[in-house]
Amino acid sequence: MPQGLSYELYKLTARLERAADELLRRQQGVSYARFLALLAVRETNGSQRDLARWLVQTEPSTSRMVTVLADHGLLEVTRLEGGGNRRQLRLTTRGAQLVERCGHLLEGRFEELVRRSEVPYEAYQRHTRQLLAQLEASQGRDTDAPGTP
């Protein structure tokens, strides 16, 4: 069903992510994937495992990203004592500043897009939050598709 809302949301998300990646690379010198990883560290303030879960990635994939971000001075990685191979993550000052700049840039561009499309921003935000809340409430249920009630 290519004309369904689920397909249109997929297209919208893919195009927004591509546009965000191009914008961040051009104006901030960072990929959207790296920005998301840094944002996730700020949001979770946790371990590498927490970051992998937030990004919906495997731990080995996340480990490679963590290494790159730490090598660029955007992230501090500390091994937890008695935690085996667990690592605590924290943004450096430079990483936190990058997240702030990129977040403001992306939010401003998205607000502009919503305004130009004549979609009420507050209504769009409310509906998006309702959908996200439903997906989160549905996690852990035995379903055939993500978010299926």
Q: What's the rounded mean pLDDT across residues 104-128? A: 95
Task: Please give the single-letter amino acid code of residue 90.
Answer: R
Q: Decide if pLDDT at 145 tops 50.
A: no
Give dist(CA 51, CA 88) in Å, integer: 10
pLDDT for 14: 96
The answer on pLDDT for 143 being more than 60 is no
Name, in order, each residue with C-beta under 8 angstroms of 35's C-beta and a sequence gap of 6 or more: 20, 24, 28, 98, 99, 102, 106
What size, in residues, is the chain?
Answer: 149
Q: Which CATH class is domain 5-138?
A: mainly alpha
pLDDT digits (tens, 9 = 90+) for 40-51: 999 998 889 999
* Domain definitions of the chain by residue range: 5-138
- Residues 34, 37: Cα–Cα separation, whole Å: 5
E strands along 26-124, which residues?
75-79, 87-91
pLDDT value, residue 85: 72
